[in-house]
Structures are given as structure tokens and as C-alpha cells.
Amino acid sequence: MKNEKNLLKEEFLLKVIALSTLLERGFKIARLSGNRNFDEKVVKAKMKSMKANGMLVPAIIVDAKKVIEAGLEIVDFETGEIISGADAARYVVLVDANHRYKAHLNLLEANKELKDEEKYKGEFYLIYALNEEIAVSRMFSEINICTNPWKGGDFPKGAK
């Protein structure tokens, strides 16, 4: 799987990847075990947005092996089980978009109760981090902490 992983990364570097493509190739999604808890209010807002508009920006990923080698613990996104170095080749780790991915999974789960015309038919998209030279821990903090969400007066005229 190591050679396949390297080929996959070369093939998809600087390309947006559909989650379905990764899943078809046997890859799974992981997250940092120490990442913040989900804010259900944020997840619900993301669900509403994604159902209405699809995914507008791809999630950012890195190879799980790199994260484990950096001394960080990762878990399977869906099961919460810790990912060992031996299993790392089967995973990519979300650096950004944990709430969006949770919303995507919730929407797919909700489809079980909906009529066909009401179902969420969105795809989830990912991209490898553009700068993989920086330390993984720094990348996580730069992407997730160094933000300044828009407030009411920040929206361009007509963008509300």
C-alpha cells in the first residue's frame, strides 16, 4: 500500500479530490484525537449550508503517517479508534473542515429517512496541504487558530 499511497499523493498533489475516490481506493478519514469537540450548532449550520449549496471549499488533508511521525495521536473519524503507525497508510487526516465533514456524514445518515427528491446528494472534496514542509502541529494551529471570522459589517454589500 505504501507505493500506492505515494502514487496517490503524486496523482492528487494540487488537485481537488472527491472523497468517493479516496474511499474507492480503500482510504479512510482520521482526525487529531486532541482536536476540539464538535459544536452541534456549527455542525447544524454547516449541514444547512451544504444541503443548499454543496461544498464550497475543499477540506485540507495530510498523510496520517506524517502526523503520527510528528508525535501526534490520530483517531478514525467515524469510530474514534486510535490509528497505529501500522494502519496509517490507509488514512488521511483532516487538518481543516472537521465540522464540515461531520455535517456531511450527518446529512448522509439523514438520507435514510428522506424521500429521494429530498436527499442530500453532495460530494465531499479534499486537497492536500499546499505547504507540507512546515511541522504538522504548526500547520494545524495556523489553519485553525489564525482566523478572524467575519462579523456583520465585514460582509460585502449584497453578500448577506
pLDDT by position in tens, the chain (length 160): 556 656 666 666 678 999 999 999 999 999 999 888 899 999 999 999 999 999 999 999 999 999 999 999 999 999 999 999 999 999 999 998 999 999 999 999 999 999 999 999 999 999 998 887 888 888 877 876 766 555 565 545 444 4
CA 15, CA 30: separation in Å to the nearest integer? 20
- From first CA to last CA, the distance across the chain in angstroms is 46
93 lies in some domain: yes
Residue 151 zone, left/alpha/beta (φ > 0; ψ -120 to 50; rest): beta
91 lies in some domain: yes
CA 78, CA 87: separation in Å to the nearest integer? 15
pTM: 0.82
Q: What is the pLDDT at residue 122?
A: 92
Nearest to 86 by CA among 113, 105, 61, 68: 68
10 lies in some domain: no
> 57 burial class (0-12, 13-18, 19+ CB within 10 angstroms)?
exposed
Rg (CA), the chain: 17
Q: Find out whether 60 and 144 touch, Cβ atoms under 8 Å.
A: no
135 lies in some domain: yes
120 lies in some domain: yes
Domain extent at residue 134: 22-145
Total domains in the fold of the chain: 1
